[in-house]
Structure 1
Amino acid sequence: MSNEPQRSKRRNGEGSIYQRKSDGRWVGAVYLPTATGAVKRKVVYGATWDYVHQELTRLIAQAHRGIPIPDRSCRVSEYLEYWLSVYASQRRETTARGYEGIVRLHLVPGLGSKRLDKLSVQDVNLFLTRCRQKCMCCTSKLDAQRPPAKRCCLVGKCCQRKASVRQVQYIHAVLRNALGHAMREELVSRNVASLVRVAAPRYKIGKGLKVEQVRTVLAAVDGHRLQPLYLAAATMGLRRGELLGMRWSDLDLDIGTFTPAQTVQRVNGHLRLQETKSEDSDSVLPIPEVTWLALLEHRDRQDKEREAAGDDWQEHDLVFPSEVGTPMEPRNLNRHWERLRERLGMQDVRLHDLRHTMVSLLLELGVPPHIVQALARHADVEITLKIYAHTNLDAMRQAARRLDDHLG
């Protein structure tokens, strides 16, 4: 017998919910309009009454907004519109915008006219081949915005700006994601995109700084309000957005820990404070003592900045805000770093390479790779080891020379 409380009778149009005797799962059903204008019985399943009720409520609200549910005979373009509205919209804003761009510029023009249930592996393979061959500036409508003298395909002369391996991989990933949802909704029997292989990009992994270089950087910004930021980047492996989004309330300076909770990103031309990625939300990172001491000093400095700014100060609880308390523009941080590295003769060192410094130094000290991976919050330990291998190329060359000497 179910432990669920007795529910009141559902009204017309709200669908029905019942519990199966065979396995105890809850089933909800409601009639909704499809893209063809017909009405279809939509069924959802769940472990609890509350979950099924929530799903039915969402589907009914979606129908009231004019978004029909897809069926097997719908076009790929119709399903992608539904998928963007229902599933992709639940992702972070920057992720959802990326999905929308891929759907609008690539998937709908290339596959939109095909029936969803008739889409084949060959269709996807041919589509991706065309993606690799077409001019990206024309696909993105950039050519039409250029002065006539600088246009390429519109005047019959292509600039050959083709899609990168990474772009093709991303297009494929978005299609695979959408078709995965279609398969779970039993609109297709298999995910044909998952059966297509695409080349993986070879990422350029920057070098971490050597100990002497880190000391040079910190000495060059001694007394500057951004010195603790650069120190945190090099010793804690934090990303730019995490540094700019760090709040005092995310720090526990009594026990020396930091819990990443938000980042600063530019979205649609506006600075936004966004939650960190879900895999980072539960991370609790230790603060090295040298960084802990710098943060304590920085807190005192910020109190003086707040007092000097007076009514102009806008409190956001940020550790590294602008000089009036607002989120710092990421491009301003980049500009400061570029001027600094130019002055120090480190033109090829990126700001993000400070994050790699922690990885390379810890592995040099013999810290197990899985511990370093956890601190850097890499998705895979292979990424951690690639950074180390790239950074220690000089050491490997020295080892090779020693082998030469031994054999010679």
Structure 2
Amino acid sequence: MKGSIKQRSPGSYSIILDLGKDPVTGKRRQKWHTFRGTKRGADIECARLITELEKNEYVEASKLTIGQWIDQWIEAGAPGRRRKKVSQRTLERYGQLLRTHIKPVLGHRLLQKLRAPEIDKLYADMAEAKLISARTQHHVHTVLGACLATAHRKGLISANPMLRVEQVPAPEQFDPDDDETDDIGEGLSENELAALITGFKPSGIFPAVVLAAATGARRNELLALRWTDLDADKKTLRIERALEQTKKFGIRIKPPKTKRGYRTIDLDDGTIAVLLKEKERQQRLCAGVPGDAKVDLSLIRLPHDALMFPALSVSFTTPRHPRNFSRDFADRIARLSEERAKQNLPGLTARFHDLRGIHATALLDAGVALHTVAQRIGDDPATLLRFYTKRKRSQQANEKLSETIKGLAAGFLSAG
């Protein structure tokens, strides 16, 4: 491979790469590149291009901008290393992060001209402005990295500038604006958890709060549960679907995001009693039978696909709005905190999602093995390992798990 440089005007050079003769037509092949800068800079760029050609890493010059590539990547479903499309909700989140934080700053730049120092400056400006949390900044970094990695795999750029970025935003463990992240959230003592559960007894979401505390299931998994998922005789609950809220499809029921999401959970007697009482209430509503009337409930059939915690104002099969559910929980927590303040007691600062972390923490503190807890809550053991370090492991995991779940639920259900 050979290359030559011609000055077109002060500060502007043409780099001509000689690729030899075409084996079919016999015509000489050349690649022209425009370079603006010094003569030394043009020499360095020429040498770099020749090296890429020799290593078969050469990328054709393109006018594609970063903004245009972001749109193409999102339109293609944001494929990653495995070339699989992400869920609709995740896709919309990716698009929102890139279009809000990347395109306004770097969207006009040519994709092939993007360099690591520009990304470093972007991250530094984001951190200085303090307009978004450190966790969101890290999400921006992760999504941008996936976007540029795909461009590199497709041969649109010769090298991924993310590999040279130095100002990588560090994630936080807790994001108060995200109800579905797998952080451990706020911890509550046993007495505080009991007070929280007791305080929700007058609330319509009491059964869901109890089930969350007793299983560590995610909010969107709980809201997608059907009564057919409960086997009261075997004391088990199947989790095999979740809600997804997207702009394109609205609220819909979908399979779990990963294989770990499919699982069967053991339940204690107290939690089953709460669920059966809720089912009885719904059966009476379905038949229009007053709560104090004696009736054979076995004759009252709910729809086969009836949800455990539906939007009853609509139907037994219509899911609750996830955000409204979390808002109802937050409003109730606020009222409980006000009541406790009047009694000179500390407030309860917890999100609904924190019940998941509280459940996992209780099991780990009791010595249940990490992989057993991870399987129960449908999480990656590596994720748990990051958030729950220095925890004990039980040598008799299954027996300890059963005893701990029974004791945990009995404690918060009997209080008050």
TM over 0.5, shorter chain: yes
User: Which of these residues, 169, 180, 199, is aligned with residue 199 of structure 1?
Assistant: 169
Contact 1:76-1:116 at 8 Å conserved across structures: yes
Q: Note if 1:277 corresponds to 2:257.
A: yes
Contact (CA 8 Å) 1:209, 1:354: kept in 2 or not?
Answer: no
Residue 169 of structure 1 and its aligned partner are, at CA, apart by: 1.4
The alignment status of 1:94 with 2:73, answered yes or no, reads: no
Structure 2 counterpart SS, 1:245? coil
1:18-29 equivalent positions in 2, closer than 5 A: none
Q: 1:128 to 1:95 in 2, by over 3 A?
A: same
Q: Which structure's CA Rg is the greater one?
A: 2
**2:131 counterpart of 1:130:** no
Question: Structure 1 residues 287 and 188 mapped into 2: Cα distance closer, same or farther (>3 Å)?
Answer: farther
Q: Quick check: 177-186 or 327-336, which moved more?
A: 327-336
Which residue of structure 1 lines up, in the alignment, with residue 230 of structure 2?
A: 251
Percentage identity across aligned positions? 25
1:321 is aligned to 2:304: no
Aligned to 2:214: 235
Query: TM-score, structure 2 length as denominator?
Result: 0.60
State the SS of the aligned residue for 1:284.
strand
Listed as ranges, the matches of 1:365-376 within 5 Å are 365-376=366-377
Aligned counterpart for 1:114 among listed residues 109, 113, 116: 109
Cα distance in 2 between the residues matched to 1:332 and 1:265: 19
* Corresponding position of 2:408: none
Q: Distance in 2 between matches of 1:269 and 1:344?
A: 42
- Match of 1:278, as an amino acid? T
Instruction: Say if 1:264 and 1:274, in contact at 8 Å, map to a contact too.
Output: yes
CA distance in 1, matches of 2:212, 2:335: 17
SS at 1:272's partner residue? strand
Q: CA RMSD in A?
A: 3.4
CA 1:309–1:108: 2 relative to 1, 3 Å: farther
Higher helix share: 1
- The C-alpha deviation readout for 1:230-281, integer Å capped at 9, x for no partner, is 2111110122222222222333444333333343455449961342322543
> What residue ranges of structure 1 are gaps of 5+ in the alignment?
1-69, 135-160, 390-408
**CA contact under 8 A between 1:321 and 1:327: conserved in structure 2?**
yes
Q: TM-score, normalised by structure 1?
A: 0.61
8 Å contact from structure 2 (residues 333, 348) kept in 1: no
Q: Which amino acid in 1 is paired with 2:172?
A: R
Q: After superposition, what is the alpha-carbon deviation per residue over 1:90-122, rounded to whole angstroms, capped at 9, x for unaligned?
A: 433332222222232232232223332332222
Change over 3 Å in CA distance of 1:210–1:162 after alignment to 2: closer
* Residue type at the aligned position of 1:202: E
Structure-1 residue corresponding to 2:388:
385
> How many Å separate the matches in 1 of 2:361 and 2:73?
41
Residue pair 1:378, 1:384 contacting (<8 A) in 2 also:
no
Residue 290 (structure 1) aligned to one of 265, 270, 280: 270
Are positions 1:178 and 2:178 aligned together?
no
For 1:143, the equivalent position in structure 2 comes to none
Alignment partner, residue 299 of structure 1: 279
Q: Which residue of 1 aligns with 2:100?
A: 105
What is the Cα deviation at residue 297 of structure 1? 2.6
In structure 1, the partner of 2:45 is: none
Match of 2:242 among 242, 245, 263: 263
Per-residue CA deviation, residues 347-370 of structure 1 (Å, 9 max, x unaligned), is 323333322221222123211223
Whether 1:188 aligns to 2:157 is yes
Relative to structure 1, the CA distance from residue 302 to residue 386 in structure 2 (aligned partners, 3 Å threshold; closer, same or farther) is farther
Pick from 330, 333, 355 the counterpart of residue 334 of structure 1: 330
Query: Are the counterparts in 1 of residues 244 and 253 from structure 2 also a CA contact under 8 Å?
Result: yes
- The alpha-carbon distance between structure 1 residues 317 and 344, as it changes in their structure 2 partners (threshold 3 A), is farther
Give CA-to-partner distance per residue, 1:284-324, whole Å, 9 cap, x none. 332233222322232222211222399xx999621012333
Residue 337 of structure 1, CA deviation:
4.0
Offset, 1:384: 4.3
Q: Quote the offset at 1:196 in angstroms.
A: 2.1
Q: How many residues align?
A: 292
